[in-house]
Structure formats: structure tokens, C-alpha cells
Amino acid sequence: MTDQQIQVTFYGGVGSVTGANFLLENVVHAQEESTKILVDCGMFQGDESAFEKNYEPFHYHPADIDILIITHAHADHIGRIPKLVRDGFRGVIYSTEATHDLAKVMLDDSLQIISYEAKKRNIDPLYTLDDVAETMSLWKHIPYHHTLELSGGFSVVLHEAGHILGSAIVKFRYGNKNIVFTGDLGNSPDPLLSDTEVIDDADYMIIESVYGDRNHEERDERITKLKNVVLETIAKQGILMIPSFALERTQNLLFVLNDLVESGELPNIPIFLDSPLAIDITNVFRKHQHLFNADAQQRLKKDSDIFSFPGFKETYSVNDSKAIMRAPNPKIIISSAGMSHAGRIIHHEKQYLDDPNNTLLFVGYQAVGTLGRIIQDGAKKVHILGKEVHVKARVETISGYSAHKDSEHLVEFVSHSAKRLQHVFVAMGETQSSLFLVQRIRDYLGVKATAPDVDASVMLDMS
């Protein structure tokens, strides 16, 4: 016999953007086993202490978990799944198919970094190739809007989050109430993705708060600026380097360039996508283009591949990558990592930063301490792969890109359920950001809201 209560424990993704990990279990009477459902199992990211936290044992028994539901394929939501499996989890993993496909690419790619980091510290890697293979074998798909009955009296349905391809808001039903995990919520409208769906029937909500205390600047003239930078590169017969995050930002960029080239606003020049990870991810986007918004669907009717255009070349192998050097100027190189802390972009920066005819264009956030940030902050001399490089190239930034809703739009998202919401738990943000959003939800919507502590549990009445 089950009670009409569930317990939620916040094991990660509180007081921090990263490490999302929430446990949901029904309250049952003695002798019975509760059903245990995890939402997300993300990596802690950032400094050395985050690195160490990933190695700590989970604060529950992975073997006891029945089900793991994944909101989306960013590392801070999926990065510890292979460790969970390594530590005994043998339940079922559910997500959208696009999230599954992206997770496979992302987890395979992460193996290199995981083993590099372990070697550097002379410790065992967090997980291995076998753990990733085992993880993928436990994974099943659920389409958006399909209600899946789970054990223990739970059911679950996924809604479009509009954050990255395949991203989902997870809505559980238990008893007579709904509990909603937002995952990360997209900054709709997006050039490719469908808008975040309105959720108007949440009784409880666990919401992200990456930008809980800030509003985005107006969407500026990003496309015009990109076009101008490209045209200036052509005029100077130079090289344009764009460090770009492999997932989502790169595909957005390709979509825009595709448009500019095919409409004749930009001439055909060689444009290289020089990142195996970004190429693999772009192929996942091609496979799931039915998920794109109406605008992108219209383009697809006229152009079957909106990520490819005259002059565009994907350089997967190291040889192809090296051949970029021999291509005549002007040319554009899009490569990862997005903050120039790893990946092939560093080789291009080492090669080309000392020429005033070249340009380095930032299209994403550069964290303090990364090579990208050091150059963005105006360093004139940097060390790259053992070489001293004089930064003579022009350095430009296109800002305003964000994959997260800002404070105002997070409150708006909550407002649709305000009439029936009993409690909002604000998570997945820095403490200050979460607390600010808590206050806003209370003040503007009159809804009870708190920012839970790490490992805190709450009992929710679902009757």
C-alpha cells in the first residue's frame, strides 16, 4: 500500500549550476520497497573541488535506483551516469531519442578528457569505455508528449524545454498531483529549436536559475555583426577563427552562415568546421531535424541540409585539419573548444593570432582563467602549446547568445502554473542567483519558493 506522499532529495545542482542530481521516491509502508527515480546525473564542473566531488561516492545506493530520467545532454546533467552504472545502477534510463543520441557522442568524447585528467593526477579515471557502453545499453527513448507509466504509481511525460536539441521538461504524476523538473530552460525564440512549452498544471516545480538574478540584453544585431566581420576578413584577405561550443552554438552559427551564403549576402569562401565532436553533433541535428521550429522547417523545404552550403567543409581527420593551412585566404575556421582551453582551435590560434589581417571572433562566454578570456581581456602576448604568440589579430565578440531563460522569463514560466503551485524549489544556479529568483517568485507571483540545501529532503503531499 502506498501513501500519497513522495520525498524529493536534492543531491546535486543546488547552490551550483552543475552536478544536477535529484531523487524522487514514493513513501510506502513497512516491508514494502519504494520506487526510486533519479532525475539527471550530472558532472560537477569548475574548479579542483568540483573535480574531486565527482569522485565522491553517491549519497545513495546506485543499485537501489529503479529509473533515471535525463532532461538533456549537457555534461552537467549526464556526466556522472557512467559512474552511477560503474557503482551498481542497473535500472532503466529514459530520455528523448535526440538526448540519447547526443549523450552517446558527448560521453564518448568525454572519455579522452576523463582519462587525461586522471593521468595528470595519477589516479584511476572516473569511468571507462566499458562503463559508457553499459550506460548506453540501459538507455530507452520516450517521445515528447507520450505518457509513460512507471512502477510504483508514477507516470512521466516529457515536454519541449527549448534549451538544446532534445531537451525536455520532465513532468511526473503521482496521486493527484504533478511535479515538474524543468531541467535547463531555453532562451526562446531560438533560430533552430522549438519554443519552451508552457506548463500550466504544475503542483510542485524544481526550476533552474542559471540567470535567476539577471536579465539578458536585447537581442542585438548579431547576424549583421557576424556578416560584417566576415566581409572585413574577406577585404583583408585574412583568416577568421571562431572558437565555438560544439553543441548548439556551432549549429546555430552554421545555420546563419548557410542562410547568408545561400542568399548571396556573403560570397562563397572556404569555411571549415574543424572539430570531430561538433561534426558528430551536427549529424545528430540532421537526424532529428523534425524537432526544429516552424521557421527552420520552412527552410528545410527549400534546402535539405541547412548546415551545409557552397564552400563549407567538415574536417574530421587530423590530416584534413592540417590541410586547412594550405587553403587560400580568405577563410573561416570554426572549431572547439569554445573557450580555447582545449581542442583544435588552439592550434589555429597558435598559427594565426600574430597576423593583423586575421580576426578571432568570440561567440560565447569565456570563463575566467581560460585562454579565450585572457585574449578577450586584451592580452598582447600569450603562450600557446609552448610557443610565445603575439596577439596582433583583431579580437571581436558577439555577445547576447545564451541558451538559458533570464530572470524575467523564468518568472513568466512559473506564472502559468501560479494558481495551483504549492511550492517551487529553485535549483541549478549559483546561490545568489537562486535566492534572487526565490524572492521574485514570492513577490511577483505569491507562490511559496525556497532554494534547498545540498542533500536536503522534502516531503510532498500528492493527494
Q: Quick one: which segment of 178-186, 245-253, 272-280, 439-447 binds Zn ion (CB under 5 A)?
A: 178-186
Q: Which is nearer to Zn ion, 187 or 366 (CB)?
A: 187
Strand-pair partners of 22: 10, 39
Rounded to the nearest whole angstrom, what is the least distance from the CB of residue 345 to Zn ion in the complex? 21
* List of residues 6+ apart from 231 with CB closer than 8 A: 266
Rounded to the nearest whole angstrom, what is the least distance from the CB of residue 110 to Zn ion in the complex? 15
| CB-CB contact of 137 with 103 (8 Å) | no
The separation between CA 374 and the C-alpha centre of its own chain, rounded to angstroms, equals 24
Q: Which is nearer to Zn ion, 169 or 240 (CB)?
A: 169
DSSP state of 390: E
Q: Quick one: which segment of 27-35, 68-76, 242-250, 314-322 binds Zn ion (CB under 5 A)?
A: 68-76
DSSP 3-state of 382: strand
Q: Which is nearer to Zn ion, 70 or 84 (CB)?
A: 70
d(CA 3, CA 26): 8
Does the protein bind Zn ion through residue 190 (CB under 5 A)?
A: no
Q: Quick one: which segment of 177-185, 225-233, 252-260, 337-345 binds Zn ion (CB under 5 A)?
A: 177-185
d(CA 427, CA 316): 38
Strand-pair partners of 170: 158, 181
* Total number of residues shown for the chain: 463
Bridge-based pairing of strands 92-95 and 148-149 is unpaired
Residue type, 239: I
Q: Which of 316, 71, 302 is nearest to 182 (CA)?
A: 71
Rounded to the nearest whole angstrom, what is the least distance from the CB of residue 77 to Zn ion in the complex? 6
Q: Which is nearer to Zn ion, 249 or 331 (CB)?
A: 249
Q: Which is nearer to Zn ion, 166 or 330 (CB)?
A: 166
* List of residues 6+ apart from 216 with CB closer than 8 A: 187, 400, 402, 406
Does the protein bind Zn ion through residue 184 (CB under 5 A)?
A: yes
Member of 74, 347, 348, 409 binding Zn ion (CB under 5 A): 74
Q: Quick one: which segment of 183-191, 331-339, 408-416, 449-457 binds Zn ion (CB under 5 A)?
A: 183-191
Rounded to the nearest whole angstrom, what is the least distance from the CB of residue 72 to Zn ion in the complex? 6
Q: Which is nearer to Zn ion, 74 or 394 (CB)?
A: 74
Q: Quick one: which segment of 1-9, 23-31, 180-188, 328-336 binds Zn ion (CB under 5 A)?
A: 180-188
Q: Which is nearer to Zn ion, 308 or 407 (CB)?
A: 407
Other Cβ atoms less than 10 A from the Cβ of 5: the count is 16
- Tell me which residues touch Zn ion (CB under 5 A): 74, 184
